[in-house]
């Protein structure tokens, strides 16, 4: 799966818009393959991307292994201490429905938007908020 420059720009724009409603930080990571549990792979990428370096520990990673059709959404400790265990299930379901219809960019964008809305409940945007993590999509070769 390869995204065009316009598709990448659309996804990154959605991250910027979502982060206007929350002090949370949202990142997307794409791998081609994932030979292990996608949550384990997401945790590895979360740490590799330095996502634990936010002031409120409120980073979120949406992890996708395109060829293996695996996904995971994980939040940092600041989020996990405040939200119910099934907090990310509706976001994963939103992506899954879109992906089954072949709407990959739309699914990712809707997941980002929904994540921003959900995060705003626990981590509302602050007037002194800084963008602590890159909005760029990170791309790996697989795990």
Average pLDDT value over all residues in the chain: 89
In the chain, domain spans:
5-139
pTM exceeds 0.75, yes or no: yes
pLDDT at 115 over 80: yes
Q: What is the DSSP string of 59-72?
A: EEEEEEETTTTEEE
Give the architecture (CATH level 2) of 5-139: Roll (3.10)
Residue 143 pLDDT greater than 70, yes or no: no
Specify the pLDDT at position 141. 65
Overall average pLDDT of the 4-16 stretch: 94
Burial (0-12, 13-18, 19+ Cβ within 10 Å), 26: buried
Q: Six-digit token pair at 137? A: 């999509």
Is pLDDT of 18 > 60? Answer: yes
Mean predicted confidence (pLDDT) in 79-102: 91
């Amino acid at each position: 799966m390869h995204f065009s420059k316009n598709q990448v720009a659309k996804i990154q724009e959605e991250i910027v818009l979502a982060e206007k409603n929350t002090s949370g930080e949202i990142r997307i990571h794409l791998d081609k393959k994932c030979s292990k549990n996608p949550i384990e792979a997401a945790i590895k990428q979360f740490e590799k991307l330095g996502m634990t370096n936010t002031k409120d520990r409120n980073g979120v990673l949406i992890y996708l292994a395109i060829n293996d059709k695996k996904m995971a959404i994980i939040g940092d400790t600041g989020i996990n201490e405040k939200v119910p265990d099934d907090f990310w299930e509706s976001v994963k379901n939103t992506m899954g429905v879109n992906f089954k219809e072949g709407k990959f960019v739309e699914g990712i964008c809707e997941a980002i938007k929904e994540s921003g809305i959900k995060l705003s409940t626990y981590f509302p945007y602050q007037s002194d908020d800084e963008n602590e993590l890159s909005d760029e999509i990170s791309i790996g070769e697989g795990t």
